[in-house]
């Protein structure tokens, strides 16, 4: 990995961003607030194609990999994550998402008047739409865990 990519991965850990808020127009700032994050928008995060592992919040072993086509800027990377979380939940994941937790499923469905097709990835891949982006953790070459944390 190039030094620039390493520096940009470190920069990601300094970003304060609630993943349910659109990163370009919404609240997405550097935690130390010395500079505006938009100063770094065009920095290339990954030169090559990379996979990001997004865990299903209530299962340690179930996840979805998002493929990031490189080169990609920090801005485009954050937008890709945002769009993933705002996208409808793939029906393939529906059973696994709520397996063993019918109360939680009913709670989520109440938000959508019982319409399963309106459930979004954010509803099941983080467990709380007010979580913040915490950066990436390298698993192996070109494969990272997405780190999320509480507000």
pLDDT tens figures, 68-103: 999 999 999 999 999 998 999 888 887 777 777 788
Listed residue (135, 139, 54, 66) closest to 97, CA to CA? 54
| pLDDT score at 129 | 52
- Entry pTM: 0.86
| pLDDT score at 36 | 85
| pLDDT score at 57 | 59
| pLDDT score at 49 | 94
What is the C-alpha to C-alpha distance for residues 54 and 60, in angstroms, rounded to an integer? Answer: 11
| pLDDT score at 150 | 66
| pLDDT score at 64 | 84
What is the C-alpha to C-alpha distance for residues 19 and 130, in angstroms, rounded to an integer? Answer: 7
What is the C-alpha to C-alpha distance for residues 123 and 42, in angstroms, rounded to an integer? Answer: 30
The parts of the chain modelled with pLDDT lower than 50 are 1
DSSP letters, 73-138, are EHHHHHHHHHHHHHSBPPHHHHHHHHTT-HHHHHHHHHHTTT-GGG-BHHHHHSS-TT-EEEEEEE
Q: Where are the domains of the chain?
A: 3-149
């Amino acid at each position: 990995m190039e030094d620039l990519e390493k520096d940009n991965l470190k920069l990601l850990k300094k970003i304060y961003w609630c993943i349910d808020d659109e990163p370009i127009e919404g609240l997405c700032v550097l935690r130390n607030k010395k500079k505006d994050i938009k100063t770094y928008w065009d920095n290339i995060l990954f030169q090559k194609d990379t996979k990001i592992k997004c865990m299903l919040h209530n299962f340690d072993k179930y996840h979805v990999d998002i493929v990031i086509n490189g080169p990609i800027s920090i801005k485009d990377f954050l937008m890709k994550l945002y769009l993933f979380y705002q996208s409808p939940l793939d029906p393939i994941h529906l059973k696994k998402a709520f397996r063993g937790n019918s109360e939680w499923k009913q709670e989520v469905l109440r938000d959508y008047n019982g319409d399963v097709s309106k459930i979004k990835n954010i509803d099941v891949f983080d467990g709380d739409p007010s979580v913040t982006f915490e950066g990436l953790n390298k698993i192996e070459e070109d494969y990272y865990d997405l780190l999320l944390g509480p507000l």
